[in-house]
Structure 1
Amino acid sequence: MSRRTAGPESGLQIPALRPLLRWTLLALGAAYVLASLAGLRLDRAALPWLAYLPPLAGFAFMAAVFASTLRAGSEPLVTRVARREHPRLPDELRSYTRSLTATWAAMFVALLIVGIVLAFATPFPAWARGIQALAVVVPAILFLGEHRYRCARFPQYTHASPLRLFLNIVAVMKDFATGARATKLPLLTCSSLAAPLLIDARDPVSVERYLGQVRALAAALPEDAPVINLCESRHGFLVAFGAALSGARVSLLPPGQARGDWERLLASHPGAIILGDPPPQDVRASHLDVRPYLGLDVRSREIPLIDADRPAAILFTSGSTGEPVGHVKTWAQLWNGAEAWAQALGWSGADSIAIIGSIPPQHMFGLEATVALPFRMGVPIHAHKPLLPADVEGALRDGAYSYWWMTTPIHLRTSLASSAGIARSGGIVSSTMSLAPAIAKAAEARWGTAVFEIYGSTETGAMAVRRPSADPRWAPLAGLTLVPGPESVRVEGERLGEPVTVHDLLEFESDGRFHWKGRAADVVKVAGKRASISALDRRLLEIEGVEDGAWYAPEASDGEVRRLVAFYVSEKVEPETVTECLRREVDAVFMPRPLVRVARLPRNANGKLTRAALAALVEQSHSPERFTIAHDHPAMAGHFPGQPIVPGALILGRVADVLRARFAQRPGTLATARFHAPLAPGESVLVEAHREGARVGFEVKRGETLVASGTWRLE
Structure 2
Amino acid sequence: MGLANRSLTVAGLAPIVAPSLARSPTLSPILAHHEPESLVAFGLEARSGAERTAERLRSDIARVVAVLPECAPDDPREILCVASDRYHFAVALLAAWQRGHRVALPPNAQPELLRAVADDRSISLVIHDTDEMSGLDLRPLLAEEIRATPAEPLALAPLPALRKLVTVWTSGSTGEHQRHSKTAGQLFAEALTLAEHFGLAVGSDGERARVVATVPSHHIYGLLFSVLVPLVSGGAFSRETPLHAVVVRATLMATHANVLVSVPAHLRALRILDPGQLPALSRVFSSGAPLPPETAKMLRARFDLAVTEVLGSTETGGIAWRVSEPALTTASGGGEVEEGGQAVSERDAAAHWTPLPHVQISAVEGRLLVDSPFLPPDGPRPWPTADRIEFATQEHTRPGSARHQLRHQFRHLGRVDGVVKIGAKRVAIAEIERRLLEIAGVEDAAVAVIEVGGARGHEPVALVVGPGLSPEHLRAELRRWLDPVVIPRRMRLVDALPREPNGKLTRRAILAEIEQPKPRVLELDCRSAPSAEASDPTRAAFEVYVPRDLYSLRGHFRGAPIVPGVVQLELARAQALARWPELGALRWVRRLKFLRPLGPGEHLRLILDRRAPDRVEFSFVCADERVSVGSLSFSATPAPQE
TM-score with structure 1 setting the length? 0.52
* 1:682–1:456 Cα change, 3 Å: farther
Counterpart amino acid of 1:294? L
Contact 2:58 2:153 in 1 (8 A): yes
Check if 1:342 corresponds to 2:190.
no
| Partner residue, 2:357 | 478
Per-residue deviation at 1:320?
3.5
Distance 1:591 1:271 in 2: 32
Q: Does 1:522 align with 2:378?
A: no
Q: Which consecutive unaligned segments of at least 5 residues does structure 1 have?
A: 1-7, 9-14, 20-76, 90-167, 169-181, 524-532, 542-546, 556-561, 571-577, 629-650, 663-674, 689-701, 705-715
Q: Which residue of 1 aligns with 2:533?
A: none
1:632 match: none
- Which amino acid letter does the alignment assign opposite residue 82 of structure 2? L
Task: Report how far residue 221 of structure 1 moved.
Answer: 0.8
Residue of structure 1 in register with 2:409 after alignment: 513
RMSD: 5.1
Separation of aligned partners in 1, 2:490 and 2:450: 13
The share of aligned pairs that are identical, in percent, is 22
Does structure 1 retain, via aligned residues, the 8 Å contact 2:180–2:314? yes
Is the deviation greater in 465-474 or in 376-385?
A: 465-474
Residues 188-238 of structure 1, C-alpha deviations (whole Å, 9 max, x = no match): 333311011111232111110011001110111122163100112112211
Cα distance, 1:300–1:363 mapped onto 2, change above 3 Å: same
Q: Secondary structure at the match of 1:494?
A: coil
Matched with 1:698 is none
> Equivalent residue for 1:325?
178
The residue number in structure 2 matching 1:187 is 30
**d(CA) in 2 for partners of 1:330, 1:312:** 5
Query: Is this contact kept in 1: 2:208–2:234, CA < 8 A?
Result: no
* Counterpart contact for 1:685–1:703, Cα < 8 Å: no
1:653 to 1:193, Cα distance in 2 relative to 1, 3 A: same
2:321 equivalent in structure 1: 465
Cα displacement (A) at 1:506 = 1.1
Q: Counterparts of 2:412 and 2:480 in 1: how far apart (Å)?
A: 24
Conserved? CA contact 2:462–2:490, under 8 Å: no
* Residues 75-474 of structure 1 aligned to structure 2 (within 5 Å): 80=15, 87=21, 185-200=28-43, 201=45, 202-203=48-49, 204-224=51-71, 226-266=78-118, 269-270=121-122, 272-278=124-130, 280-281=132-133, 283=134, 287-295=135-143, 296-297=146-147, 298=150, 300-307=152-159, 308-347=161-200, 349-350=202-203, 351-398=207-254, 400-401=256-257, 403-418=258-273, 421-424=276-279, 425-469=281-325, 470=327, 471-474=350-353
Alpha-carbon separation, structure 2, partners of 1:465 and 1:604 = 34
Instruction: Confirm or deny: 8 A CA contact 1:306 1:331 kept in the other structure.
Output: no
Give the C-alpha shift of residue 439 in structure 1: 0.7
Partner of 2:612: none
Give the secondary structure class of the aligned counterpart of 1:191.
Answer: coil
Q: Secondary structure at the match of 1:272?
A: strand
Rate the CA distance shift 1:676–1:354 in 2: closer, same or farther, 3 A. Answer: same
In structure 2, relative to structure 1, the CA distance for the partners of 1:618 and 1:333 (3 Å cut) is: farther
CA 222–461 in structure 1, closer or farther in 2 if over 3 Å, else same: same
1:490 aligns with 2:338: no
In structure 2, relative to structure 1, the CA distance for the partners of 1:277 and 1:551 (3 Å cut) is closer
Aligned residues of 1:390 and 1:419 also touching (Cα < 8 A): no
Q: Report whether the alignment pairs 1:657 with 2:545.
A: no
Question: Structure 1: which amino acid aligns with 2:269?
Answer: T
Which deviates more from structure 2 when the two are superposed, residues 269-278 or residues 356-365? 269-278
* Alignment-mate amino acid for residue 369 of structure 2: R
State the Cα deviation string for residues 323-372 of structure 1 (Å, max 9, x = none).
Answer: 33221112222112122223443446442321001111111111111111
Give yes or no for contact 1:410–1:548 (8 Å, CA) kept in 2. Answer: no
Instruction: Give the drift of 1:503.
Output: 1.4
Alignment-mate amino acid for residue 40 of structure 2: L
Counterpart-to-counterpart distance in 2, 1:258 and 1:624: 36
Distance in 1 between the 2:118 and 2:248 partners? Answer: 35
| Aligned pairs for 1:20-31 within 5 A | none
Mapped to 1, the partners of 2:269 and 2:157 lie a distance apart of: 41
Name the SS of the counterpart of 1:254 in structure 2: coil
Aligned equivalents of 1:345 and 1:292: distance in 2?
37
Q: Please say which of residues 235-244 and 466-475 is displaced more in the overlay.
A: 466-475
Q: Deviations over 1:447-469 (max 9, x none)?
A: 22211211111111221111222
Higher helix share: 1
Deviations 1:19-42 (A, max 9, x none): 9xxxxxxxxxxxxxxxxxxxxxxx
**Matched length:** 445
- Check 1:655–1:419 CA distance in 2 against 1; reply closer, same or farther (3 A cut): farther
Indicate how the Cα distance of structure 1 residues 442 and 655 shifts in structure 2: closer, same or farther if over 3 A, else same.
same
Whether the 8 Å contact between 1:504 and 1:518 is mirrored in structure 2 is yes
State the distance in 2 between where 1:271 and 1:568 align.
39
- AA at the equivalent of 2:264: P
Kindly tell me: are residues 653 and 430 of structure 1, through their superposed partners in 2, closer, same or farther at Cα, counting changes over 3 Å? same
1:32 maps to what in 2?
Answer: none
SS of 2:351's equivalent? coil
Deviations 1:370-420 (A, max 9, x none): 11111121101111111122211111114744x211112221222223566
Q: Which amino acid counterpart does residue 212 of structure 2 have in structure 1? A: I
Structure 2 residue aligned with 1:46? none
Q: Deviations over 1:43-87 (max 9, x none)?
A: xxxxxxxxxxxxxxxxxxxxxxxxxxxxxxxxxx9x949977x52
Change over 3 Å in CA distance of 1:616–1:328 after alignment to 2: farther
Q: Distance in 1 between matches of 2:211 and 2:372?
A: 27
Equivalent position amino acid for 1:312 in 2: L
Deviations 1:567-609 (A, max 9, x none): 9699xxxxxxx9xxx9xxx9xxx99999xx99x9988999686
1:478-536 Cα deviation digits (max 9, x unpaired): 1111121225322112342343321111111226111111111139xxxxxxxxx77xx
**CA distance change for structure 1 residues 657 and 245 in 2, over 3 Å: closer, same or farther?**
same
2:555 partner SS: helix
Preserved CA contact (<8 Å) 2:15 2:21:
no
Provide structure 2 residue ranges, at least 5 long, that are not aligned to the other structure.
7-11, 72-76, 328-349, 395-407, 434-445, 464-470, 495-512, 524-548, 561-569, 575-588, 602-619, 623-642
Q: Hey, what's the Cα distance between the residues in 2 that align with 1:377 and 1:626?
A: 64
Which of 494, 499, 503 is 2:386 aligned to? Answer: 503
Change (3 A) 1:592 1:277: closer
Counterpart of 1:665 in structure 2 is none
Q: Per the alignment, in what secondary structure is the counterpart of residue 341 of structure 1?
A: helix
- Cα distance, 1:660 vs. partner? 8.9
Instruction: Determine if contact 2:200/2:233 at 8 Å carries over to the other structure.
Output: no
CA distance in 1, matches of 2:426, 2:125: 38
Residues 430 and 682 from structure 1, CA distance in 2 versus in 1: closer, same or farther, beyond 3 angstroms? farther
Decide whether aligned partners of structure 1 residues 519 and 221 sit closer, same or farther in structure 2, where only a CA change above 3 A counts: same
SS of equivalent to 1:305: coil
The answer on whether the counterparts of 1:357 and 1:370 sit within 8 Å (CA) in structure 2 is: yes
